[in-house]
Amino acid sequence: MANNKDKDSIDQKVLQYEDFINEVLRRDLHRKVLDQRDTVYEKISQYLQLKNTLQSLQEADSKSLKTEVDLGCNFYVQAQVEDASRVFVAVGYGFFVEMTHDEALKFIEKKTAQLTQFTEQLTKDSAKIKAHIRLVLEGLRELQGFSDLPESRTRDIF
């Protein structure tokens, strides 16, 4: 009888750990870290696209610009900009600042460096969460009485 109670207790703990893995760690990994990192990568991409456009404008040495503008819901109209020597750049929190091309390029360099540093931190956070998942999985293996993986199935990580 004591073995059944111990086994039931272990099974209950295993279920609690599995819930913790699925409900907390994996959710944190996907929702909070990886989704946020993807959003930051998208912002970096937009800034780099703006950088390429500004460099093209500088190379063309043209003051006017013909472009398409998204009015919303992927509805585009053609637009003619008479003086494209200054642009409005999104600086964050819904604010836009009017800048010259050179000012905008300097800002983009700093902003993309800052965002890249943030993605590196998110990548480290992702690795920490994955390590916690691995730790809990190893705890489950121990609770269930499984031995470690055979040497042929293990590999060095460094």
Separation of alpha carbons 56 and 62, rounded Å: 10
Separation of alpha carbons 75 and 70, rounded Å: 6
At the second CATH level, the architecture of 2-143 is Orthogonal Bundle (1.10)
pTM, rounded to two decimals: 0.67
Q: Token match 């480290």: residue?
A: 124
Separation of alpha carbons 58 and 152, rounded Å: 59
Q: Where are the domains of the chain?
A: 2-143
Helix (H) or strand (E) segment spanning residue 133 = helix 101-143
Q: Judging by beta carbons within 10 Å of its beta carbon (0-12, 13-18, 19+), is residue 129 exposed, middle or buried?
A: buried
Q: Residue 130: which of 5, 34, 56, 60 has the closest Cα? A: 34
* Sequential pLDDT tens for the chain (158 residues): 446 666 677 677 777 777 777 777 777 777 777 788 899 999 999 999 999 989 988 888 877 888 898 899 999 999 998 888 899 999 989 999 999 999 999 999 999 999 999 999 988 888 887 787 788 777 777 777 765 555 555 555 43
